[in-house]
């Protein structure tokens, strides 16, 4: 099953190495992965495949990993009630433009290296009525969980 | 003009501010500036003979004292030699701070002499790894390292120290208080979940408390005892949890799992509620998952959210410090009891009687009257004559399981065992570390002849510093547990488990200036043990035990706890085939 993992991590390269190692050890298949530099660290978004029974454990493991500020995970939701869309615009650079034309009030959550995550406003018309939105470069997701600031991880400023 | 200090001096002062009393290490090129500063620092350092022992000693110090243990190694091979010890600490959630030398900052990545990617190597088994990038950062790095080691789920932290950073000078700015005083709390449970957990306990008739190392890490043993007595619920502990509940208590079930007693494992099989506290449903505990506590609803209290439903799905999860969670659970139980006017312990006598009948049916036992020295008898005798607050460290294998079964555990933090990683060679150096934490207490290293041969070089360390560790070798001239599995599960095809080619351990000890004796008659055991424990000197006894003795009960691989083989098979030849079928699972 496909999931989207979005993480905010500190700017220490060790933290991103630790994350990649966790993905490897837990047998998570990475379909696409993008990172973007932020003032206080990196944003990372990964489209992954892992069994549903494992994902909660992985979320909890990631959110308590040193160097990780925040984790959110999204479930692939082809049923139509998705509120997020992940766009892989590598193949077709007009994908994002077309989407924003249909949903001009969409909120950009992540953008890097041709990968975009957008939140569709709740009061917008159903996705299904937008021509072309069912194409493979548009992957609909629903947010499952986002981590709250973990007290044990309160002081993670880079040293 | 401000006074400037070298990085090495700042590091040692930072350790002092973290209340470090002693640390364990071995010098080398990249940490020479540190050892130069140590020369006049007044800090206590134990020179080990191999860095692995430094990591195990730091681990033993931490388990016995509850404070972070500290080990030190030089760059390259020194650092890589720490890895087994740090992995063991990670598996068992033990706070250890490892300091490793590194080549000068300017040559990192150039494959300099004794350069290793220590940070890269350490990623899987540390909570966090720091590279000290500048001398100015050192006080903050050390503060964060100690804070991280003890916060949340404890564990090892590594600080890599380039030689240039140790030699640079700066005016240090130390944090106001030690990092260990600023451990972050974890409390994620919802009040409604706590209320539900309390109600489940009150409604259950066949409950079991299953306590792990988290009870000891959070110092929740008083709350565990109060909960058990208030609700009249029996308590089983994991290998890590031994000592969290007194084994002489009427509600004690001892250890569960692969080598748990018949009664304990039957209780798990038939309970209607299992309350896991600071335990992680390890495969050696559960056996076949589908057969683990199949009739029970499950409550899981753990500080680490990643442990919830990792191996076993639970009905109620309470994420937080075990002690605080148990305090809240006790308060809620008392509140609900007052409201319902039903005593929390009512209706459980029948359950306790049933457990007692299982205990009577298959008690832990061995042949006590033969001529040979039975290892279980040695353990029982050591336990009987050891001081009440004695600390017991073990290696891994048969002797470890016999000690878990036959030692009387009356206090927490008296049992040191590489439980998750199962590292041979752990017991002796861990005992050394514990002895440094408590110089006046009796500390025993109960080891196998296989494991002892991995760390016997540390005889030099205990002899040099007169560390009064008592070393009891349970010598069956074999890698006993592996031999046992070859006997039972591999048709007695004994391959490379014979260790009969070995030194005379008593004479070897004597060569280091340590009194050593060999005991190979049952009737000599008591006198030898009494003499062994009578002084404050390092001592060694080499017990030549019955090499055919095996650990029972045993849950065969792939079987459930209910399918344990409870005693040595006394079978006719024609029955062997059927038994082989059972063990072939």
The answer to whether position B119 is within a domain reads yes
Q: Is residue B137 predicted with pLDDT exceeding 60?
A: yes
Q: Within this chain, do residues B271 and B383 fall inside the same structural domain, yes or no? A: no
Q: Within this chain, do residues B195 and B83 fall inside the same structural domain, yes or no? A: no
Separation in Å, CA of A59 to nearest CA in chain B: 8
Per the residue annotation, which of B240, B255, B481, B486 is the catalytic one? B481
Q: Within this chain, do residues B195 and B174 fall inside the same structural domain, yes or no? A: no
Last residue of a domain, one of B328, B361, B394: B361
Please give the C-alpha separations between residue B304 and each of B93, B332, B431, in angstroms, as whole numbers: 11, 22, 28
The pLDDT assigned to A124 comes to: 63
For residue range B146-174, list pLDDT tens digits in order.
Answer: 999 999 999 999 999 999 999 999 999 99
- CA closest to A65 among chain B residues: B127
Cβ distance of B123 and A152 shorter than 8 Å: no
For residue range B63-99, list pLDDT tens digits in order.
Answer: 999 999 999 999 999 999 999 999 999 999 999 999 9
pLDDT band of residue B576 (cuts 50, 70, 90) is very low
Q: Could you check whether the bond before residue B553 is cis, i.e. omega within 30 degrees of 0?
A: yes
CATH code for position B254: 3.40.50.1220
Residue ranges making up the domain that contains B510: 375-544
Domain positions in chain A are 2-149
Mean pLDDT (chain B) is 94
Cβ distance of B130 and A159 shorter than 8 Å: yes
Question: Does the annotation count B163 as an active-site position?
Answer: yes
Tokens in use for B190?
């919802």
Q: Give the DSSP per-residue string, B150-207.
A: HSSS---EEEEEEHHHHH-EE-----SS-GGGGPPP-B---HHHHHHHHHHHHH-SSE
The pLDDT assigned to B6 comes to: 98
The pLDDT assigned to B87 comes to: 98
The pLDDT assigned to A57 comes to: 94
The answer to whether position B403 is within a domain reads yes
Give the rounded percent of residues in chain B with a pLDDT score beyond 70: 96
Q: Within this chain, do residues B393 and B483 fall inside the same structural domain, yes or no? A: yes
What phi, psi does B89 have (nearest 5°)?
Answer: -65, -40
Residues of A in contact with B185 (CB under 8 A): 151-152
Separation in Å, CA of A27 to nearest CA in chain B: 14
Q: Is the dihedral of CA B213, B219, B222, B227 positive or negative?
A: negative
Q: Within this chain, do residues B352 and B442 fall inside the same structural domain, yes or no? A: no
The pLDDT assigned to B314 comes to: 96
Q: Within this chain, do residues B343 and B411 fall inside the same structural domain, yes or no? A: no
The pLDDT assigned to A152 comes to: 43
- Closest to B309 (Cβ–Cβ): which among A14, A56, A155? A56
Whether residue B54 contacts residue B48, with contact meaning beta carbons closer than 8 Å, is answered with yes
The pLDDT assigned to B570 comes to: 56
pLDDT band of residue A156 (cuts 50, 70, 90) is very low
Q: What number of CA atoms fall less than 13 Å from residue B381's CA on the CB side?
A: 22
Q: Within this chain, do residues B78 and B227 fall inside the same structural domain, yes or no? A: no
Question: Does the annotation count B1 as an active-site position?
Answer: no
Mean pLDDT on B384-409 = 97
Number of domains in chain B: 3
For residue range A94-105, list pLDDT tens digits in order.
Answer: 888 888 888 888
Q: Within this chain, do residues B388 and B351 fall inside the same structural domain, yes or no? A: no
Mean pLDDT on B446-458 = 98
Q: Which CATH superfamily is domain A2-149 in?
A: ACT domain (3.30.70.260)
Inter-chain Cβ pairs, chain A and chain B, closer than 8 A = 55
Q: Within this chain, do residues B252 and B342 fall inside the same structural domain, yes or no? A: yes
Whether residue B400 contacts residue B389, with contact meaning beta carbons closer than 8 Å, is answered with no
Cβ distance of B137 and A14 shorter than 8 Å: no
The answer to whether position B575 is within a domain reads no
Question: Does the annotation count B505 as an active-site position?
Answer: no
Question: Does the annotation count B3 as an active-site position?
Answer: no
Q: Within this chain, do residues B253 and B392 fall inside the same structural domain, yes or no? A: no
Separation in Å, CA of B449 to nearest CA in chain A: 34
**Beta pairing class for B69-73 and B22-26:** parallel
Tokens in use for B371?
């001529």
Residue B317, beta-bridge partner list: B300
Mean pLDDT on B30-42 = 96
Collapse the DSSP code of A39 into the 3-class scheme (helix H, G, I; strand E, B; otherwise coil) and give the result: coil
Q: What pTM was estimated for this model as a whole? A: 0.93
Q: Within this chain, do residues B271 and B351 fall inside the same structural domain, yes or no? A: yes
Residues of B in contact with A61 (CB under 8 A): 306
Q: Within this chain, do residues B177 and B195 fall inside the same structural domain, yes or no? A: no
Question: Does the annotation count B481 as an active-site position?
Answer: yes
The answer to whether position B549 is within a domain reads no
Give the rounded percent of residues in chain A with a pLDDT score beyond 70: 82
The pLDDT assigned to B341 comes to: 63
For residue range A104-152, list pLDDT tens digits in order.
Answer: 888 999 998 889 999 987 766 555 555 556 677 788 999 999 997 544 4
The answer to whether position B577 is within a domain reads no
CA nearest neighbour of B288 among B316, B257, B317? B257
Cβ distance of B184 and A57 shorter than 8 Å: no
CATH code for position B428: 3.40.50.970
The answer to whether position B368 is within a domain reads no
For residue range B253-309, list pLDDT tens digits in order.
Answer: 999 999 999 999 999 999 999 999 999 999 999 999 999 999 999 999 999 999 999
For residue range B105-116, list pLDDT tens digits in order.
Answer: 999 999 999 999
Mutate to test the interface with B, among A27, A64, A73, A150 (most CBs of B within 10 A): A64
Last residue of a domain, one of B361, B388, B407: B361
Q: Is residue B318 predicted with pLDDT exceeding 50?
A: yes
Cβ distance of B128 and A67 shorter than 8 Å: yes
């Amino acid at each position: 099953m496909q999931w989207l993992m979005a993480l905010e991590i500190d700017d220490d390269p060790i933290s991103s190495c630790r994350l990649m190692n966790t993905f490897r050890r837990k047998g998570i298949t990475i379909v696409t992965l993008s990172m973007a530099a932020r003032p206080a660290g990196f944003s990372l978004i990964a489209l992954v495949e892992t069994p549903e029974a494992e994902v909660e454990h992985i979320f909890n493991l990631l959110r308590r990993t040193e160097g990780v500020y925040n984790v959110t995970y999204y479930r692939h939701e082809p049923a139509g009630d998705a509120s997020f869309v992940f766009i892989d615009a590598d193949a077709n650079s007009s994908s994002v433009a077309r989407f924003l034309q249909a949903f001009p009030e969409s909120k950009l959550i992540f953008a890097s290296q041709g990968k975009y995550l957008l939140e569709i406003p709740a009061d917008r018309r159903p996705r299904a009525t937008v021509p072309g939105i069912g194409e493979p470069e548009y992957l609909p997701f629903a947010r499952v969980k986002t981590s709250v600031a973990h007290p044990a991880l309160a002081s993670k400023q880079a040293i | 003009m401000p006074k400037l200090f070298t990085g090495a001096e700042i590091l040692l002062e930072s350790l002092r501010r973290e209340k470090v009393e002693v640390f364990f290490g071995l010098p080398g090129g990249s940490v020479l500036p540190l050892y130069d500063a140590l020369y006049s620092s007044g800090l206590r350092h134990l020179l080990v003979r191999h860095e692995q022992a430094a990591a195990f000693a730091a681990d033993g110090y931490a388990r016995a004292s509850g404070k972070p243990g500290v080990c030190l190694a030089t760059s390259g091979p020194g650092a890589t030699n720490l890895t087994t010890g740090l992995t063991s600490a990670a598996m068992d959630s033990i706070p250890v701070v490892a300091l490793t030398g590194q080549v000068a900052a300017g040559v990192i990545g150039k494959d300099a002499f004794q350069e290793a990617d220590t940070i890269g190597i350490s990623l899987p088994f540390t909570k966090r790894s720091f590279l000290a990038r500048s001398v100015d950062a050192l006080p903050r790095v050390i503060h964060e390292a100690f804070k991280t080691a003890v916060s949340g789920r404890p564990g090892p932290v590594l600080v890599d120290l380039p030689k240039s950073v140790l030699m640079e000078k700066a005016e240090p700015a130390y944090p106001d208080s030690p990092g260990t005083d600023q451990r972050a709390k974890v409390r994620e449970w919802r009040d409604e979940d706590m209320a539900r957990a309390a109600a489940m306990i009150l409604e259950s008739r066949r409950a079991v408390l299953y306590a792990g190392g988290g009870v000891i890490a959070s110092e929740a043993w008083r709350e565990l005892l109060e909960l058990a007595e208030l609700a009249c619920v029996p308590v089983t502990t994991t290998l890590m949890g031994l000592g969290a509940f007194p084994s002489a208590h009427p509600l004690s079930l001892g250890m569960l799992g692969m080598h748990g007693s018949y009664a304990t494992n039957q209780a798990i099989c038939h309970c209607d509620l299992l309350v896991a506290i600071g335990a992680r449903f390890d495969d050696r505990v559960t056996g076949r998952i589908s057969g683990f506590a199949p009739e029970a609803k499950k409550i899981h209290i753990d500080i680490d959210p990643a442990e919830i439903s990792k191996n076993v799905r639970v009905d109620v999860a309470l994420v937080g410090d075990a002690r605080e969670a148990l305090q809240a659970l006790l308060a809620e139980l008392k509140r609900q009891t007052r409201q319902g006017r039903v005593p929390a312990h009512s209706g459980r006598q029948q359950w306790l009687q049933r457990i007692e009948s299982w205990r009577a049916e298959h008690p832990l036992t061995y042949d006590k009257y033969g001529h040979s020295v039975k290892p279980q008898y040695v353990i029982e005798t050591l336990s009987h004559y050891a001081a009440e607050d004695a600390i017991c460290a073990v290696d891994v294998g048969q002797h470890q399981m016999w000690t878990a079964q036959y030692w009387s555990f009356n206090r927490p933090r008296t049992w040191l065992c590489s439980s998750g990683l199962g590292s041979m060679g752990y017991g002796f150096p861990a005992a050394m570390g514990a002895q440094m934490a408590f110089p006046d207490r009796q500390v025993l290293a109960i080891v196998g002849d296989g494991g002892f041969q991995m760390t016997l070089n540390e005889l030099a360390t205990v002899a040099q510093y007169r560390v009064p560790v008592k070393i009891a070798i349970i010598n069956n001239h074999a890698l006993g547990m592996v031999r046992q599995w070859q006997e039972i599960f591999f048709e007695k095809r004994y391959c490379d488990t014979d260790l009969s080619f070995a030194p005379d351990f008593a004479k070897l000890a004597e060569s280091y200036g340590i009194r050593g004796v060999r005991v190979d008659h049952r009737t000599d055991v008591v006198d030898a043990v009494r003499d062994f424990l009578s002084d404050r000197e390092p001592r060694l006894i080499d017990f030549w035990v019955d090499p055919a003795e095996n650990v029972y009960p045993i849950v065969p691989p792939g079987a459930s706890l209910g399918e344990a083989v409870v005693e040595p098979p006394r079978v006719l030849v024609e029955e062997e085939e059927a038994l082989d079928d059972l063990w072939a699972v």
